[in-house]
């Protein structure tokens, strides 16, 4: 099966590993019927490239992102904390929540691709504006080879 957007070979993945486009048409319906139902939150992720003792087939990039912001009142109070130094707990909490949401979204994307695991998982963040940040979780979605499950 080839991607209708970029022509890249998709194999039996739900998303193109090259451009991220979703599979469409009859092939998508057939793939959904044969894919294993799995709670996305149970898909394990590894920061390493290798899962010891396992081999796998690469399905493509799995990613999830979120942009989080704190309210203006808390932002104002955080400015005072910045003057005296120390941890700004509201921002720490905001980033922790953003990591959690981005991670769940990455796992959902991997589940839609039919993945059993995610390898080479990473986080990236960027300041969007004062008091708002984007958090991105990404990794390589993989399907474990059958003989080793």
- Spatial distance between the Cα atoms of 115 and 15, rounded to a whole number of angstroms: 11
Residue 27 has pLDDT above 90, yes or no: no
Record the pTM.
0.67
Its sign, for the CA torsion 69, 74, 75, 78, is negative
CATH number for the domain whose boundaries are 39-148: 3.30.110.70
Residue 29 has pLDDT above 80, yes or no: no
The pLDDT tens digits of the residues spanning 53-73 come to: 999 999 999 999 999 887 655
Compute CA distances 26 → 3, 29, 42, 77, whole Å.
13, 5, 28, 55
Domain residue ranges in the chain:
1-35, 39-148
């Amino acid at each position: 099966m080839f991607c209708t957007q970029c022509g890249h070979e998709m194999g039996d993945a739900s998303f193109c590993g090259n451009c991220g486009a979703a599979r469409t048409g009859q092939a998508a319906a057939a793939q959904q019927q044969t894919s294993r139902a799995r709670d996305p939150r149970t898909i394990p992720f590894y920061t390493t490239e290798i899962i010891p003792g396992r081999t796998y087939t690469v399905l493509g990039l799995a990613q999830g992102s979120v942009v989080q912001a704190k309210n203006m009142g808390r932002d104002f109070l955080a400015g005072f904390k910045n003057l005296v130094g120390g941890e700004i707990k509201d921002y720490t909490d905001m980033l922790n929540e953003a990591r959690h949401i981005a991670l769940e979204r990455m796992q959902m994307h991997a589940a839609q691709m039919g993945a059993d695991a995610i390898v080479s998982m990473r986080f990236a963040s960027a300041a969007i504006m004062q008091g708002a940040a984007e958090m991105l979780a990404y990794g390589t979605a993989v399907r474990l080879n059958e003989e080793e499950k």
